[in-house]
Amino acid sequence: MTKVFAAFLFTALLTTQCWLAASPIASSPITAMVFSPNGDEVLLGSQNGLELRTWPGMLMVGTIESELTQVHDLKFSPDGRTLLAAGGAPAEEGVVEVIEWVNKKRVRRIVMHEDIVYRVAWSPDGRRWVTAAGDGMGSVVDAASGETIARYEGHSRALLDIAFFEDNNTVASVGVDQTVQLWNSSDGTHIRTLDNHVGTVNAIAISPTKPTTDADGPVTVATISEDRTVRLWQPKIGRLMRFSKLPSVPRSLTWSNAGDRLYVGCNDGRVRTVDSSTMEVIDTFDANVGRIHELAMDFEKGLILVAGEQGFYTHGFLRKQ
Amino acid sequence: MKTFAWFCLALGIEGSVQAVDFETEIMPVLTKAGCNSGACHGAAAGRGGFHLSLLGSNPAADYDAIVHELEGRRTNQAHPEKSLILAKPTGYLDHGGDVVLDEAGPGAKRLVDWIRSGVSRGTAKQLTTLRVEPSRFVAAAFPTTVSLKAMAIFDHGVPTDVSDLTLFSSADPAAVEIEEFEGNMVARIKRPGQHVVLARFLNRVVPIQLNVPLSDKAIDLSSQPRGNWIDEEILQLLSELRIPVSPPSSSNEWLRRVTLDLTGRLPEPSKVEEFVSQDSLDVRSGYVDALLASEAFSDYWTLKFSKLLRFHSLPNEKEGLQAYSDWLRGEIHNGTGLDRIAHQLLTATGDSHFVGPANFGRMVSDARDQAELVGQFFMGTKLGCANCHNHPLDKWTQDDYHGLAAVFSKLERGREVRLTSRGAVTNLRTSEPAVPRIPGFQDLDGPGDHRVAFADWLLSKDNRYFARATVNRLWQAMLGRGLVEPTDDLRDTNPPTHPELLHKLAENFVQSDYNIRHTLKNLAMSHTYARSGTILPGNASDDRFYSHAYGRELHSEVLLDAIADVTGVPSTFKGHVFGVRAVTILDPLEPVTALDILGRCTKAKGCDDNGVANGGLPAKLHLLNGDLLNRKLIDSDGRLNKLLEAGQSDETIVREFYIRAIGRNPTESESTHWCQQIMESDEKKRRDKMEDFVWSLLNSRTFLENH
């Protein structure tokens, strides 16, 4: 009996599901999520604004002031001092709010697109950040001045995700036009288009494993699409490495610390773990949050936080990363 | 207790938002506003990055697009009134489709309520019946207005007034305008005639027939003779529309018409004399029976069905078509019910050089083509649109199309036609192998020959697809215009001119065990069929109510045979014995220059329309100037030459050609006219003038048409 109770407590500790009944963002899907730089808190975003909770307890701490009609992304600068909150009003404006994290005050509100900003990404050196917007544009912003220093117009439809390469210059963006496009963040010039996907490309993530042979060597990138595939690329040399097809449309994506696993949140509310060397699905768990919009990994605590249309879900993974 | 009261109050406030069902209450708002029309977001590729299924045919996908797509950008659950799905159609934001939704109207309110209540999919109610009032309206005068109402009955059984959610659309907006008046939907009729308003709610379309008299003066058709129930139906509509009927055709006209319609031949001169002298209902009945029992009938109707079934030879392989032709002609000649013929066509396997119906699946290139042919021939419907998207005007979905194709996907189409365990069709909607399916009905699970299941369903007791398609084609063949046109496009949105008549014909056909002779005789013996083509002042514009007979061009094969019969010079066809008739050549790929010029059906599409495959202007020019006629006119073995050499008088020759070509003797004035024109003492000149006379006769509309 004692063993059963202990097992129950363990499960309850590692796996927590919250329906957010008392939360101000209860009525809207969670569309943005990020751990605070010190890892003690988690910030959630939705059509109802920004909300801060403890981590991993998920207790309500408070809200953060925002004028965003819809919040679609939250990203901390590499030094953890600045938070970007991206979103806007659909078909009206794409906005990025720059928030000083130490006092949680907004220092800038930059209206920079004619449609929602779906994603932002910092350059690894923290000097620039880029946007992926619904108006089909990508913008490069100087982090210090807030000035737009370049724009990319190579996509024919909305951009849905964007990533900065380690070289602090190359950017990869994906979107509704079913392509992955590499471009230069200094001047917005096109480098390469990868067009193997046959559906909207929902997300892109760069492998945390750095090339060992050459600083300019082939970086591995993962993309997921409405065509239900997860694809691995070496985009700088235009190579599609391998792919696998999932039983449900993948919507959110993150790498394991070691770069040997991909965690993919899907439309069916399940998170699938994909072995990046074989592209086989090696584990699946049901998060029960409807469509999964966000995944966040806490490798120290061995927890994965899943957020989606019906709230969030915390899941423990046994394998130490 | 206070806490409980506050709780109740809070619930009450929240409760003011009615739960709204997406499928039955939101989708109709979008359909009515035109959001999911083909010109807007219902286009195959959507519009402005937003794709909805055409006319709401796929509610699950539409819910997904509105609620989930792009992280839910289109619905704002925190501030429902700011939702993109409202801001665009109400004009708050720039919208390519202009303002289509009144922001203060019931549609917008319903959308806000739905978003506020949590954008739930709801518990989908099943629509069982859609009733419209009126379903048929006969106006006393015009212009006039009619109030339109729609009542939906869902599976829970309570009738619901859905007039405000129903899309009423006029087939001809210049004749009927739909407008909203004091909260009611109203049809404003601006022209006389028969008009159709379509009421669309969810996946149902119900036609509303609006009949407005063409004249101010009432007409009395009660004394018009009625041969059978066909006449009752025709006269009722003519009476409502106040269209006078033309007098009956003469005995000669009727004889030529019925002989051409049933056998594709002109009446024999000896029969003309005999028939005209004895004409009565009994004589007509006996004559029709004789025609229906003739070899000529079997030849002609084999040709007609072969066109619908897309007969053609395969490369280096004539045996299959020969077996197919022999089988079909045999079945038609023996009076086999069309249901049994259909079942054999759908399910046959075996050596196609010996098993005729096994060739049915060889006339198409693959399972999808076969699905389209099956839809066209057996169901009178065009399924092709549903290959790429749900049918815009009909109920057929992509699942229906690919599911029907999957029924035939395991068929091996070599000389030996057989079912295999292999073969699949990809459903373009899911990119997965299609599940075999009876369109619009059910999936076919499990092993076995799904073709048999489909055939059994098609020919089951309550299924009228095949019967309706067939009787409509028979009607078109006899009356010149189908009750539904085109005859391979039967659908709710293309209603028949005489719905009840089509229903009765189909029922009667089924009761006769799918006997085409039975239906053809019913048609031939009606007074409607016997009406003359004489135009009266009040019925000149009638082209679909059968107040008078409609002239129809002779089909190419019939025309070629008729020219041969009149001139007495048989056509020669390479590879066939001398004297063979054009109507027996069933292979459209067989090189026959004369038929190529006059117009033939293509093997790919068949001929299932009233326009048949007439060759148009080239054919006309060829008849006027080409070899086809001229060579036969000067043929030494031809009828004209023989008559001249026999020393027949001008009057006799004129009479002979009149009765052979147009089935009657010349009138006195005609005879006099031609004799004056031809009269010539010089034999050579007389011959030339005679040739000109016959040439004129064979180029006249009276000869080139069945009237």
Contact A293 B79 (CB under 8 A): no
Chain B residues whose CB is inside 8 A of the A49 CB are 78
C-alpha to C-alpha distance for B602 and B273, rounded to whole angstroms: 39
Which segment, B114-128, B329-343, B676-690, is predicted with the most confidence on average?
A: B329-343
pLDDT tens column, A145-181: 999 999 999 999 999 999 999 999 999 999 999 999 9
**Beta partners for A40?**
none
Which residues 111-170 on chain B approach chain A with CB closer than 8 angstroms?
Answer: 118
C-alpha to C-alpha distance for B163 and B182, rounded to whole angstroms: 13
Sorting pLDDT into bands at 50, 70 and 90, what band is B689?
very high
Instruction: Sketch out chain B's domains with CATH numbers.
Output: 17-116 (no CATH), 127-212 (2.60.40.1080), 251-293+464-552 (no CATH), 337-458 (no CATH), 553-706 (no CATH)
Contact A91 B88 (CB under 8 A): yes
Report the candidate in B219, B170, B161, B220 with the shortest Cα–Cα distance to residue B190. Answer: B170
pLDDT of residue B607: 63
pLDDT at A215 over 80: no
Question: How many beta carbons lie within 10 A of that of residue B566, not counting itself?
Answer: 24
- Does B51 touch chain A if contact means CB atoms closer than 8 Å? no
By percentage, how much of chain B surpasses pLDDT 70?
A: 95
- Does B679 touch chain A if contact means CB atoms closer than 8 Å? no
Contact B367, B406 (CB under 8 A): yes
pLDDT at B123 over 90: no
Question: What's A102's DSSP letter?
Answer: T
pLDDT at B687 over 60: yes
Instruction: Sketch out chain A's domains with CATH numbers.
Output: 1-23+206-321 (2.130.10.10), 65-195 (2.130.10.10)
- Using DSSP's 3-state secondary structure scheme, residue B235 falls into helix
pLDDT at B70 over 70: yes
pLDDT at B391 over 50: yes
Sorting pLDDT into bands at 50, 70 and 90, what band is B14?
very low
pLDDT of residue B397: 85
Sheet holding A16-18, edge to edge: A16-18, A311-316, A303-308, A292-298
Q: Which residue carries 């009607």 as its tokens?
A: B475
By percentage, how much of chain A surpasses pLDDT 70?
A: 88
Task: Kindly tell me the burial class for residue A105, based on how many C-beta atoms sit within 10 Å of its own C-beta (0-12, 13-18, 19 or more).
Answer: exposed
Q: Which residue carries 């039983």 as its tokens?
A: A247
pLDDT at A65 over 80: yes
Q: Indicate the helix (H) or strand (E) that contains A201.
A: strand A201-206
**More confident of the two residues A219 and B4:** A219
Dihedral sign for Cα atoms in the order B562, B563, B564, B566: positive
What torsion do the CA atoms of B153, B159, B160, B165 make, to the nearest 10 degrees? 30
Report the candidate in B424, B449, B450 with the shortest Cα–Cα distance to residue B439. Answer: B450
C-alpha to C-alpha distance for A91 and B84, rounded to whole angstroms: 8
Q: What is the mean pLDDT of chain B?
A: 91
pLDDT at B603 over 80: no
Contact B72 A91 (CB under 8 A): no
Question: What's B433's DSSP letter?
Answer: E
pLDDT tens column, B322-363: 999 999 999 999 999 999 999 999 999 999 999 999 999 999
Report how far Cα B643 is from the mean position of its chain's Cα atoms. 46
> Which amino acid makes up residue A314?
T
pLDDT at B565 over 90: yes
Report the candidate in A245, A267, A271 with the shortest Cα–Cα distance to residue A256. Answer: A271
ipTM, 2 dp: 0.88
Helix/strand/coil (H/E/C) assignment for every residue in A37-74? CCCCEEEEEECCEEEEEECCCCCEEEEECCCCCEEEEE
C-alpha to C-alpha distance for B215 and B241, rounded to whole angstroms: 8
Residues found in chain B: 707
By percentage, how much of chain B surpasses pLDDT 90?
A: 76
What tokens were used for B105? 């109207």
Mean pLDDT for the stretch of residues A4-25: 42
Which residues neighbour B264 within 8 Å (Cβ) at sequence distance 6 or greater? B296, B299, B300, B303, B555, B557, B558, B561, B583
Contact A47 B79 (CB under 8 A): yes
First to last CA, chain A: 32
Contact A61, A21 (CB under 8 A): no
Report the candidate in A116, A112, A110 with the shortest Cα–Cα distance to residue A73. Answer: A116
Mean pLDDT for the stretch of residues A203-232: 84
pLDDT of residue B288: 98
In angstroms, the Cα distances linking B353 to B340, B343, B359, B408, B583 are 21, 19, 8, 20, 22
State how far residue B47 is from chain A, nearest Cα, in angstroms: 12
Contact B522, B479 (CB under 8 A): no
Residue A162 gets the label, from left (phi > 0), alpha (psi -120 to 50) or beta, of: beta
Contact A48 B71 (CB under 8 A): no
Q: Which chain A residue's Cα is nearest to B116?
A: A27
- Does B10 touch chain A if contact means CB atoms closer than 8 Å? no
Which residues neighbour B280 within 8 Å (Cβ) at sequence distance 6 or greater? none
pLDDT of residue B606: 59
What is the per-residue burial (b if ≥16 Cβ within 10 Å, else e) of B473-482? bbbbbbbbbb
Sorting pLDDT into bands at 50, 70 and 90, what band is B395?
confident
pLDDT at B629 over 50: yes
C-alpha to C-alpha distance for B146 and B394, rounded to whole angstroms: 26
- Using DSSP's 3-state secondary structure scheme, residue B125 falls into coil
Question: How many beta carbons lie within 10 A of that of residue A279, not counting itself?
Answer: 17
- Using DSSP's 3-state secondary structure scheme, residue B681 falls into coil
- For A225, phi and psi rounded to 5 degrees? -145, 165
C-alpha to C-alpha distance for A305 and A15, rounded to whole angstroms: 10
Q: Where is average pLDDT lowest: A43-47, A285-289, B5-9, B620-624?
A: B5-9
pLDDT of residue B510: 98
pLDDT of residue A4: 42
C-alpha to C-alpha distance for A1 and B3, rounded to whole angstroms: 40
Q: Where is average pLDDT lowest: A87-96, B251-260, B437-446, B691-700?
A: B437-446
**More confident of the two residues A24 and A274:** A274
C-alpha to C-alpha distance for A155 and A137, rounded to whole angstroms: 7
**Cβ pairs A/B, distance under 8 A:** 52
> Which amino acid makes up residue B433?
P
Which residues neighbour B98 within 8 Å (Cβ) at sequence distance 6 or greater? B91
Sorting pLDDT into bands at 50, 70 and 90, what band is B302?
very high
Mean pLDDT for the stretch of residues B21-25: 90
Report the candidate in B451, B476, B450, B454 with the shortest Cα–Cα distance to residue B465. Answer: B454
pLDDT of residue A3: 45
Mean pLDDT for the stretch of residues A218-222: 89
Report the candidate in B90, B84, B97 with the shortest Cα–Cα distance to residue B39. Answer: B97
C-alpha to C-alpha distance for B63 and B85, rounded to whole angstroms: 12
pLDDT tens column, A263-284: 999 999 999 999 999 999 999 9
Contact A158 B84 (CB under 8 A): no
Q: Which chain B residue's Cα is nearest to A73?
A: B71
> Which amino acid makes up residue A281?
V
Mutate to test the interface with A, among B70, B120, B430 (most CBs of A within 10 A): B70
**More confident of the two residues B137 and A4:** B137
State how far residue A216 is from chain B, nearest Cα, in angstroms: 34
Sheet holding A32-35, edge to edge: A32-35, A41-46, A49-54, A60-64
Contact B78 A31 (CB under 8 A): no
pLDDT tens column, B178-212: 998 888 899 999 999 999 999 999 888 899 999 99
